[in-house]
Amino acid sequence: MRVVYFGTPDFAVPSLRALVGEGFDVVGVVTRPDKPTGRHRSHSTPSAVKVAALADDLPVLQPERPSEPDFLAQIAQLAPDLSIVAAYGHILPQQLLDVPKRGSVNVHASLLPALRGAAPIQRAILAGLAETGITIMQMDAGMDSGPILHQVSTPIAEDETGGELSERLAELGAEALIEALTLIDEAGLEPRAQDPARATFAPKIKREEERLDWSCPAEAVARKIRAFDPKPGAWTTGRGKELKLFGARAVEGAGAAGAVLRADDELVIACGAGAVSAEEVQPSGRARMPVRAFVNGRGVAVGDRLA
């Protein structure tokens, strides 16, 4: 089967590797253009999927947008039997979805129709869900609205971070994808339409959402810190500077919202109800570090107020 694969971040790499390992003919890998980096933006950083593709000598395409006429012509020339999409970052136009003979499928990190959108992993933790999973779906021109082919669920651990859950779901997604493609080839899969009335949404995380609100209950604050660990990082301000927190859990404690109750191996901050303990921090412009190192550097002390 000739396959064109669309993906960008680390989450998409296991599915690509699984396709190669199972002997699928990956005739093209589509990912974002290299990202300019460095002080003068003189260097460029390839996506995780591009790095994986080049390691397997797979052809890489990097359009600015998947609707570009030249890119559409390139895909048509590849004559794929199937397109597979995993966290690519763009909604594919119908013209592109219509190119493969056997259609296009998506590896989505939620149990659709729940959490349609760009940030299902972080939103699942933010919402305090007990489980999530992977959906393999037929794609249409909507946002994660196509018929369901296959689903696999998994519990969310109480202390699981967004990064940890993403890694688990990436591997689960690779397994689910191969299972779905095998079933399609051997016995066929009957697509099941989503119920739009049950749909919930997981829009892209905005900068203002990353800021911690210490007037919220400790459980909600701790979930936000875990959801945004390691990226983008939940942040607050202390002594007038931005500070990101990691390794959070809700603990007993009381005080004015944002007050630092303890600063040693842990940073304990009062919330609207209860308190939150963090084990690591990242001051603005510096690397992530243990709380003890930050305290020893006089970065924070008991009695400070985070905002």
Model confidence pLDDT, tens digit, residues 72-131: 999 999 999 999 999 999 999 999 999 999 999 999 999 999 999 999 999 999 999 999
Using CB atoms within 10 Å of the CB of residue 265, give its burial: 0 to 12 exposed, 13 to 18 middle, 19+ buried.
exposed
Whether the link from the prior residue into 113 is cis, omega within 30° of 0, is yes
Pairing of strands 35-37, 131-138: unpaired
What confidence score (pLDDT) does residue 186 get? 81
What confidence score (pLDDT) does residue 79 get? 97
- This prediction has a pTM of 0.95
Question: For the domain 2-198, what is the CATH superfamily, name and number?
Answer: Formyl transferase, N-terminal domain (3.40.50.170)
Query: Which of 80-84, 137-141, 185-189, 255-259 is the least confident region?
Result: 185-189
Q: For CATH 3.40.50.170, list the domain ranges present in the chain.
A: 2-198
Overall average pLDDT of the 182-210 stretch = 92
How many other CB atoms are there within 10 angstroms of residue 49's CB atom? 28
Pairing of strands 2-7, 82-86: parallel
Q: For CATH 3.10.25.10, list the domain ranges present in the chain.
A: 207-296
Question: Given CA atoms 128, 170, 192, 147 in this order, what sign does their dihedral have?
Answer: positive
Model confidence pLDDT, tens digit, residues 18-55: 999 999 999 999 999 999 877 667 789 999 999 999 99
Distances (CA, A) of 108 to 115, 120, 175, 221, 274: 9, 8, 13, 26, 35
Question: For the domain 207-296, what is the CATH superfamily, name and number?
Answer: Formyl transferase, C-terminal domain (3.10.25.10)
Task: Quote the tokens at residue 241.
Answer: 């500077």
